[in-house]
Amino acid sequence: MSRGCDAARWHPSPNFGPRRDGLRPDLVVLHYTGMSSAQAALERLCDPGAEVSAHYLIGADGRLWQLVAEAQRAWHAGAGAWLGRVDVNSRSIGIELENPGDRPFPAPQMQRLEALLAGVLARWGIPPAGVIGHADMAPGRKHDPGPRFDWRRLARSGLALRPGAAPPGPWPAFAPTLDAIGYPPAPEAARLAAFRARFRPQARDAAPHVTDADRAVAAAVLTACRQEAGHR
């Protein structure tokens, strides 16, 4: 298998290793760099002392670098889990997006991400529900790609989970619904913040406790997850 995306500039990082236990990627984890520039992020992701990396970095202007071959294990996810499965690094492709974390993601960057994701999902047979944010798998510890990221755009393109309308209430309890979607154990406030950033970004200033609107959207997300799983 080739390193990955032919359109990428190959900029190898020393920070990688083999995927453990014969695992293959079944997730894509999206990050923001939280740094001032793509160059600063590139230097850190390739610094042996930093011990971090990702498979890809996409600049705000749409430039794309590949740092680690897709078949290898990049060091981007850290502690966390999804659907009860740990060692997310061995199970995922990591994509870093140049963004300090406080602004929208520019159109050239999103266009390049869409093209990259389409190839990654096809190469590895990853379903749209397998595209998650760093905050999803590590709520409370991580917050990227944050509420400014346009998840709906990816969903419309078939590159992320696309929930439908919420089913009629009453809706199931929030915590077990998040468990079934894939979120790992964490304090309720952390999981609520991660869920809202992903699926209810307009609710950033809502009450700091679970509401019926949260339960309704979570029920819709779980329904979409189950429908997608049933179609595979």
96 classed as catalytic: yes
Instruction: Establish if 4 belongs to a structural domain.
Output: no
On whether the CB atoms of residues 86 and 23 are closer than 8 A, the answer is no
Does the residue 1 lie in any domain?
no
Place of tokens 């610094």: 47
Residue 191: what pLDDT? 97
User: What's the token pair of residue 216?
Assistant: 């309704």
pLDDT band at residue 208 under the 50/70/90 scheme: confident
> In this prediction, what percent of the chain has a pLDDT beyond 70?
96
Say how many domains are in the chain.
Answer: 1
* 130, two tokens: 């397998």
Q: Please report how many Cα atoms fall inside a 13 Å half-sphere around the Cα of residue 218, on the Cβ side.
A: 27
Q: For residue 178, give the H/E element and its range.
A: helix 174-181
The answer to the question of residue 149 being in a domain is yes
Interatomic CA distance for residues 33 and 109, integer angstroms:
13
Quickly count: other Cβ atoms within 10 Å of residue 172's Cβ.
14
Q: Give the largest Cα separation in the chain, rounded.
A: 52
Q: Is residue 40 part of a domain?
A: yes
Could you tell me if residue 192 is inside a domain? yes
Distance CA(152)–CA(139), nearest Å, equals 20
Cβ distance 11 to 65 under 8 Å?
yes
Cα distance between residue 231 and residue 11, in whole Å: 37
What does the pLDDT read at residue 95? 98
Q: What is the pLDDT of residue 232?
A: 62
Question: Is residue 160 assigned to a domain?
Answer: yes
C-alpha closest to that of 211 among 192, 230, 186, 187: 192
Tokens of 132: 């998650």
Hey, which residues does 73 pair with through a beta bridge?
Answer: 17
- Residue 11 CA to chain centroid, in angstroms? 22
What does the pLDDT look like over 68-97, one tens digit per residue?
999 999 999 999 999 999 999 999 999 999
pLDDT digits 0-9 by tens, 104-154: 999 999 999 999 999 999 999 999 999 999 999 999 999 999 999 999 999
CA torsion sign, 43 to 49 to 52 to 54? positive
- Domain around 142: 9-231
Q: Show Cβ contacts of residue 58 under 8 Å, excluding neighbours closer than 6 positions.
A: 64, 65, 95, 96, 97, 98, 109, 112, 113, 116
Tally the residues of the chain. 232
Choice among 43, 70, 96, 98 that is catalytic? 96
Q: What whole-number distance in Å separates Cα of residue 223 and Cα of residue 219?
A: 6
Judge whether 66 lies within some domain.
yes
In a domain, 3, yes or no: no
**What is the domain-level CATH number for residue 185?**
3.40.80.10
